[in-house]
Chain A
Amino acid sequence: MNGKQKAHIEFTLNGERAEVAFAPHKTLLEVLREDLSLTGTKHGCELGECGTCAVLLDGRSVLSCLVLGLDAEGRSVQTVEGLADAAGLHPLQETFADTGAAQCGYCTPGFLLVAKELLAHNDNPSREEIKEALSGNLCRCTGYIKIYEAVELAAARMRGEEMELPREAVYGLE
């Protein structure tokens, strides 16, 4: 904008090759939101305190407000926009929508990506393991309970199992 040198990177974004040019001091969060118009990734502090900006970098969750855009060079980034595929929503997206895990929804993208990372390594996490994995993500609306239930339900569905949840936990149960 003010004629300064721009950085230029190539990387994999949500499974596809991407290129972007941006001011070199920008965080990955800013590059995603401002230069790539992927506004699904949110921010609540830009200081590494709230977990809202989490994305996956080579499959591992990182706080995009603490990572420089330059650090994504040659790597693979996944954001909430890349969770669904042609076949439909990711099981976590379905269960977050089905269980009331997303109230205001602002923390949801960050939770989804951290939960995805957890399930990639552990297909049947205990409640304690889920709490531990998600403890870096803040949610002010839900009290977290419906978020745990959403992760448990998605894990069960991904294992091909049925799971019983209380009536007040899931939309659409009669």
Chain B
Amino acid sequence: MSEARQQSSIVGRPVPRKEGRAKVTGAARYVDDLTLPGMIYGATVRSTVARGRIKNITFGEGVPWDELTVVTARDIPGANAVALILLDQPYLASEFVNHPEEPIVLLAHPDKHLVERARRAVLVEIEPLPPVFTIEESAAKKEIVWGEDNTFKSYLVEKGNVDEVWSRDDVLIVEGEYRTGAQEQLYIETNGVVAVANADEGVTVWGSMQCPYYVHKALIKLFDLPEEKIRVIQTETGGGFGGKEEYPSMIAGHAALLAWKSGQPVKIIYDRAEDMAATTKRHPSLTRHRTAVTRDGKLAAQEIEFTVDGGAYATLSAVVLSRGTIHAAGPYYCPNVRINARAVATNAPPHGAFRGFGAPQSIFALERQMDKVARALDLSAEEFRRRNFIREGETTATEQIIREKVDMAGLLARAFELSGYEEKRGRFARENAGRGKVKRGIGFATFMHGAGFTGSGEVFLQSIVGCEASSDGRVHILAASTEIGQGTNTIFAQIAAEALKLDYDMVEVSRPDTASVPNSGPTVASRTCMIVGKLVESAALGLRQTLQGAGLLAEVYTADEWREACRRHTERHGALKSFSQYKAPPDVVWDDGKYRGDAYGAFAWAVYVAEVSVDLVTYDARVEDFVAVQEVGRVIHPVLAAGQIEGGVAQGVGYALYERVAWREGRMANSQMTNYIMPTALDVPPIRVHFEETPYPYGPAGAKGIGELPMDGPAPAILSAVEQATGVAFTHIPLMPEDLMKELGDARD
């Protein structure tokens, strides 16, 4: 490892962020900063009920309707379905609505205040049908609200035979039930697009998004146009976290429909309330665990029933469920595992991608259950973990053999040392016995997170990355992977510069624009660095091979020789480009039918420690200190990597203690930043981030994925700490002051 470090000059170094200067001067252009000549503003009329049949639409008085562009389902030129995994979600409801906020009518006008007034003047009369709002109601088929049985997708993972274990007399059986709530991504820039659309030029959309080719595919279907007639361009994006994975296909389609009908460019920017209430959130979940352990503290069987609420349409629930399923048994070795997983329909707006993608839910349940089992065994939480950590050569729940070097016990020791865990654990226990009104606790979670698409996902994606060298020797990376704050531009440039032994400043990343970049797949699943980064590396090396093959470049070269070679090559042959397409690493095998095999090319491994205080007068729980130790392969950029962890932990703190969606009849009732509370500067603890680096041979320069990992650990670590502080093993998040009051107030009486 130290050898690799010496040879390299760019990877591992905190080079300046590519678009850093534009972002501090106000020069960076986000979608709402674009204005096109003749541009008008769009708005969306939405359902006010959770489920029903549309009877009538009336356009109220006092609005100059002849000045407005009005679009309903009848105006759609192609298919009225947002193309994703299934085609079940309409762009505009025409007969039935299946959730509150479902789009029904689109309006546009040059005056954005007038269009808002018009939106309020449209009355949609809906005859209500009985809705379903909870996982239990849906699973019990109280009403069938989707498909045959309310089930978007189910998976069964079977390893060994759990049924033979329950009756053994050498095991202890522990059961538990755990819940997690919805969570809003709350990127600070709301969803927005600008669209131009007409029969001659086709459709062009600029927008805040993670996955330009998802939007591209959706618009092809919506307009029934050939792919070259659809162009999607990502503007600078003010945060995504999964919330701009699938939803931009919807809003882009809406703006394009209005543009198509009006013949003018259309801008739609959601206000905060609309963005929070109508767009996707993290799937709520319910997990039941049944665990058998031997008296000496070894896992003998894990039976896990994992259910997520997908909302009204399928969107990405099948894949969210998949990741949650595979992570449900965690970084432990257990010979017998059964995981029954299901994504069910309710009449809430569809839930969708959010950093972690199902894993934070199932890991929360597992880590709480592990603490509970340890208690039942009278072992410390850490000793129980140590006896069960998975090791090299052992198999996960999907029977993936761990071939990487993994040392969870080492990470645990490191995290304990950095946090002073043992000393604090003892001290808090003594202090909490006193009369003080503020109780303290420290707790931890141990977990892993797979990088890249699950199972065969990457093979199906067939991602492509291009590199182009211009005649002045500058290298341009062509990829649809988006910079959404996490540092894509910077790490891609580092990887290519490193591969070609060129200066970082000689490499640029082109703006994702479907007219000029190949499909490198969506910017999700912690895949950008490990999977797409690897393609950047090989595409870059392809440039060099071409130049060397043409005899223009020696084996060892200077920057000037590189420039000269590029100049001569482009003079003779025109553009110098190289493309690279994904190939699975050797011996990665996945069986989709049995849900068995190598779920991910690699895992990141982590131990997080949280320290909390709980005020027994105000019932305020606060995170006071946080230590995040992880192994993510080689760290390409220390500042960006630490920033990913810090930001993810802050979101995890919100998930655990602050961010509660108040549901009322399937609608988010607290769709403002003052009543849906994300952590402010005063709520985020000091976060100490530590990386252990074990290079991964198939990642670019040894890197694995990182983006989602920090979302997994905070919530269970925090609740474990709250358990020490209060003596109550809470089983759900978000854990709000009223929950603490209910439990602790009762206990005191």
> Once the chains are docked, how many angstroms separate the CA of A47 from the CA of B674?
10
Taking CB as reference atom, which chain A residue is nearest B483? Answer: A104
Which of B110, B190, B238, B649 gathers the greatest number of chain A CB atoms within 10 Å?
B238
A1-B111, A40-B25, A140-B187 are contacts. A102–B17 as well, Cβ < 8 Å? Answer: yes
> Once the chains are docked, how many angstroms separate the CA of A49 from the CA of B20?
26
Cross-chain contact B272 with A47 (CB below 8 angstroms): yes
**Nearest Cβ in chain B — how far from A150, in angstroms?**
10
> Once the chains are docked, how many angstroms separate the CA of A44 from the CA of B238?
10
Cross-chain contact B646 with A104 (CB below 8 angstroms): no
Residue-wise, chain B 481-517 has the 8 Å CB interface mask toward A (1 for contact) of 0001111000000000000000000000000000000
> Once the chains are docked, how many angstroms separate the CA of A107 from the CA of B641?
20
Neighbouring A residues of B190 by C-beta, 8 Å: 44
Cross-chain contact A40 with B27 (CB below 8 angstroms): yes
Cross-chain contact B188 with A44 (CB below 8 angstroms): yes
Residue-wise, chain A 118-149 has the 8 Å CB interface mask toward B (1 for contact) of 00000000000011101111111111111110
Residue-wise, chain A 77-115 has the 8 Å CB interface mask toward B (1 for contact) of 001110110000100011011111011111111001000
Cross-chain contact B674 with A38 (CB below 8 angstroms): no
Cross-chain contact A132 with B682 (CB below 8 angstroms): yes
Which of A41, A47, A105, A107 gathers the greatest number of chain B CB atoms within 10 Å?
A105
**Nearest Cβ in chain A — how far from B445, in angstroms?**
18
Cross-chain contact A96 with B646 (CB below 8 angstroms): no
Neighbouring B residues of A147 by C-beta, 8 Å: 681
Cross-chain contact B643 with A103 (CB below 8 angstroms): yes
Cross-chain contact B638 with A167 (CB below 8 angstroms): yes
Residue-wise, chain B 649-682 has the 8 Å CB interface mask toward A (1 for contact) of 1110000000000000000000011100011111
A50-B188, A105-B24 are contacts. A168–B641 as well, Cβ < 8 Å? Answer: yes
A100-B640, A172-B14, A172-B15 are contacts. A109–B672 as well, Cβ < 8 Å? Answer: no
> Once the chains are docked, how many angstroms separate the CA of A84 from the CA of B188?
24
Starting from the known contacts A93-B25, A135-B682, 8 additional A-B residue pairs (CB-CB under 8 Å) come to A33-B32, A105-B19, A105-B22, A109-B26, A142-B650, A143-B646, A144-B650, A146-B642
Chain B interface, >50% SS class: loop
Cross-chain contact B638 with A137 (CB below 8 angstroms): no
> Once the chains are docked, how many angstroms separate the CA of A147 from the CA of B679?
14
Contact of B647 among A42, A46, A131, A141 (CB under 8 A): A141
Q: Which one of B372-380, B567-575, B684-692 is at the A interface?
A: B684-692
Q: How large is the interface on B (under 10, 10 to 19, 20 to 34, 35 or more residues)?
A: 35 or more
Cross-chain contact B650 with A97 (CB below 8 angstroms): no
> Once the chains are docked, how many angstroms separate the CA of A44 from the CA of B27?
18
> Once the chains are docked, how many angstroms separate the CA of A170 from the CA of B687?
16
Neighbouring A residues of B32 by C-beta, 8 Å: 33, 39, 43
A46-B272, A134-B681 are contacts. A84–B25 as well, Cβ < 8 Å? Answer: yes
Neighbouring B residues of A1 by C-beta, 8 Å: 110-111
Neighbouring B residues of A105 by C-beta, 8 Å: 19, 22-24, 28, 236, 238, 485
Cross-chain contact A44 with B272 (CB below 8 angstroms): yes
A45-B672, A140-B651 are contacts. A98–B16 as well, Cβ < 8 Å? Answer: yes
Neighbouring A residues of B272 by C-beta, 8 Å: 44-47, 49-50
Cross-chain contact B651 with A104 (CB below 8 angstroms): no
Cross-chain contact A140 with B647 (CB below 8 angstroms): yes
Taking CB as reference atom, which chain A residue is nearest B29? Answer: A39
> Once the chains are docked, how many angstroms separate the CA of A38 from the CA of B28?
12
Cross-chain contact B681 with A38 (CB below 8 angstroms): no
Cross-chain contact B647 with A143 (CB below 8 angstroms): yes
A145-B687, A171-B15 are contacts. A138–B188 as well, Cβ < 8 Å? Answer: yes
> Once the chains are docked, how many angstroms separate the CA of A140 from the CA of B679?
8
Contact of B14 among A42, A49, A52, A167 (CB under 8 A): A167
Which of B21, B28, B185, B484 gathers the greatest number of chain A CB atoms within 10 Å?
B28
